[in-house]
Structure 1
Amino acid sequence: MCVTLITGAASGLGWALAQACQARGDQLLLTDLNQDLLEQRAASLTATKVISLAGDICDEQVQLALVDACLAEFGRLDVLINNAGITHRSLTQRTAPEVFRKVMAVNYHAPLELTLKALPLLKASRGQIVAVGSMASWMPVLGRAGYCAAKSALAQALEVLRGEVRRDGVRLLLVYPSFLATPIEQNALGADGQAASHARTTLGTLHSAEWMADKVILAQAQGLERLFPDRRTHLASLLWRLAPSFFHRQMCRRFAAELH
């Protein structure tokens, strides 16, 4: 039976992934900053063994506690899903430095550090690392400089790690969703670190968390290394590589509202 650790598991894509993983028979360790909601979610999953451990994923002691809990409660770890994230909607030149630092800490430092701490267990099980990235990791988006930078940094770091741990039997799946109907955007930070005051601009179809979770589960079963979940996302990634200036002009037109 597979043991899966999911970060940011109390809502949005993390919760959809928790349900999908249990449906295939996984035992789960769930973590989230929202302790009350996390405990409610964990208690509702009864088909297999599920434990929860709330805390700030940026805290090194929380990271160590999660790895220790995997060993103590299950004796192993097969899949680490780095899902927890935070975004902002604010122009680069107006954004306070602490906003950039927070976005980078949650989206880059925390998942990379947790991954490295969990690596001995993943090597022992010849397991898998799943990282929920974003189209923003390879395409620029007005008003999202910190988020784009953090997701890009994580993707690059894990692509390097992929080559380093392949011989240990550890697999990596990097997921590149577009726009999802999840709380990450509802909780976006503004330039001053408070809640963003304007609605987000989207591109393409707004998919549900459940739709995305099903895609991730299927990609794992197929042994994919990178997941572009729909045709538009895949074509956009190719266009950015082949014609970046054209792509940049189109992006600026589409997200022009961010300038105002």
Structure 2
Amino acid sequence: MEFDRPGTRGVRGAPTGARQPEAAGGVRLRAAAHEPRGVRGLARRRARRAAAGVPAALGRAARIVAGRPRRRGAASGGRARHRRRGGLAVAATQPAPVVAITGAAGGIGSALARRWARDGAQLVLLDRDQDALDALAREFTAAGIEAVAIGCDITDEAACRAALRRVQEVFGRLDVLVNNAGITALAAFEHTAPATFRRLWEVNFLGAIHCTLPALPLLERSGGQVVVISSVAGFAPLLGRAAYAASKHALHGAFDTLRAEWAARGVGVTIVCPSYTDTAIVRRALDGAGRAGAAGDAPVASRMMAPSVLADRIVAGVRRRRRLLLPSWTARGAWWVSRVSGALYDRLMRRNQARMQGAVARWTDGSRGSDSRRAADSRPRPRSDSVGCSSR
């Protein structure tokens, strides 16, 4: 209760006709508001948006794209009652979450493993490079983190099923599956052989399918989450990477549908779309004929995100169970512009790539040989560990 101003009979905040309390001396009292503070603040924000003609849904959409968390208040239940570990909200009495990461030997995969290790997660490391996996697992074991290294070729469906059976035997559960392994190819559409399209499809798309299908029963029991490391090329074109963009677009279609189908069973899906990241995936890129080393020493982007920074943002997004995570301003800008005006996006993309000292021209003019398609069809398929599909 608060005192009203002397000499006034009205009581602010009291309903019309309500009996007003009086203090000694006949001074009327003002009734305190009964609404929680969070509700009053939410009502004020909605009133301001309504006065400005801004739909309430627009504010939520802007927060999602900007990657800002929802404000905590009465609508969100106040302070969380569970501590968050490993990117998931878990009760304090539950064991550390189990996180499986494909392509864990280097790049984004190893950065994610180290980030989740800091939260005390139990790690399942999957990669074709067994030596690098073993070294990483020893590093975690020495620090007191439980980690299991499993050599696995994600293009082999039977190997992926065997790896998930091993997870079931060792841990008995799985909380997060990160489909991270992938390769890229640098060549214009007309200079990309069908065999190269097929190779990227097998690694980038089918590899994620092979790992996810046997993991779904484990994820359902834990209310877990599938994380897909896609790219800006997953929702927009990328000059000189037709095969890569095709495989990433397919991931969005498949895993957006999986999210809708399994939401009622408690399984979430987060699709991450980074922009250029400083990893070996481009240095090991294929050319149109499927040969490694297409990029050479040419610059790929003027600015690239460090894998450790990206890992921090991915874990934060998984913790909030984001549907689509755009972890940089470049990715967010590309998302908005590509949807507002595809023609404008194409012009900006060509202008940006023109600054890269002719690198794209070398990828797209077929300088590696006009017979690239014939060469790709006649040569044996490259081993995945020699072209970098084992780690991004």
Find the aligned partners of 2:152 and 2:185 in 1 and give their Cα distance: 21
Q: Does residue 1:106 correspond to 2:203, yes or no?
A: yes
Work out whether 1:10 is the aligned partner of 2:10. Answer: no
1:96 CA displacement:
1.9
CA distance in 1, matches of 2:298, 2:304: 12
Matched, 1:164 2:266: no
Pair 1:40-2:135 in alignment: yes
For residues 154-212 of structure 1, what are the alpha-carbon distances to aligned partners after superposition, in whole Å with 9 as ceiling and x for unaligned? 01110011000000000111101000001111111112211233346545631111010
2:179 corresponding residue in structure 1: 82
* Per-residue deviation, 1:150: 0.4
**Residue 228 of structure 1 corresponds to which residue in structure 2?**
326
Is the 1:27–1:50 Cα contact (8 Å) retained in structure 2? yes
Report if aligned partners of 1:70, 1:76 keep a CA contact under 8 Å in 2. yes
Length-normalised TM-score, structure 1: 0.96
| CA distance in structure 2 between the partners assigned to 1:43 and 1:253 by the alignment | 46
Residue 226 of structure 1 aligns with an amino acid whose one-letter code is L
Gaps of 5+ in 1: none
Aligned with residue 175 of structure 1, among 272, 291, 307: 272
CA distance in 2, matches of 1:155, 1:172: 10
Q: Counterparts of 2:169 and 2:214 in 1: how far apart (Å)?
A: 15
d(CA) in 1 for partners of 2:301 and 2:348? 11
Alignment of 1:1-260 (within 5 A): 1-46=96-141, 47-198=144-295, 199=297, 202-203=300-301, 205-256=303-354, 257=358, 258-260=360-362
Which is richer in helix? 1
RMSD between aligned alpha carbons? 1.4
Q: Secondary structure at the match of 2:240?
A: coil
Shift of 1:68: 0.2
Q: Which sits farther off after the overlay, 223-232 or 33-42?
A: 223-232
* Whole-angstrom CA distance in 2 between matches of 1:200 and 1:134: 21
Opposite residue 77 of structure 1, the aligned amino acid is L
Runs of 4+ in 1 over 2 A off after TM superposition: 196-205, 252-257
**8 Å Cα contact 1:179-1:204 kept in structure 2:** no
Compute the displacement of 1:76 (Å).
0.7
Deviations 1:130-164 (A, max 9, x none): 11010011111121001001011001110011000
TM-score (norm 2): 0.64
Secondary structure (helix, strand or coil) at the match of 2:314 reads helix
Q: Amino acid of the residue matched to residue 214 of structure 1?
A: D
CA contact (8 A) 1:81 1:130 kept: yes
What is the rounded CA distance, in whole Å, between the counterparts of 2:167 and 2:106 in structure 1? 21
Query: Partners of 1:119 and 1:232 in 2: how far apart?
Result: 32
Structure of larger gyration radius: 2
Q: Percent identity?
A: 36
Counterpart of 2:163 in 1: which secondary structure? helix
Q: Secondary structure at the match of 2:151?
A: coil
Equivalent-residue separation in structure 1 for 2:294 and 2:318 (angstroms): 37
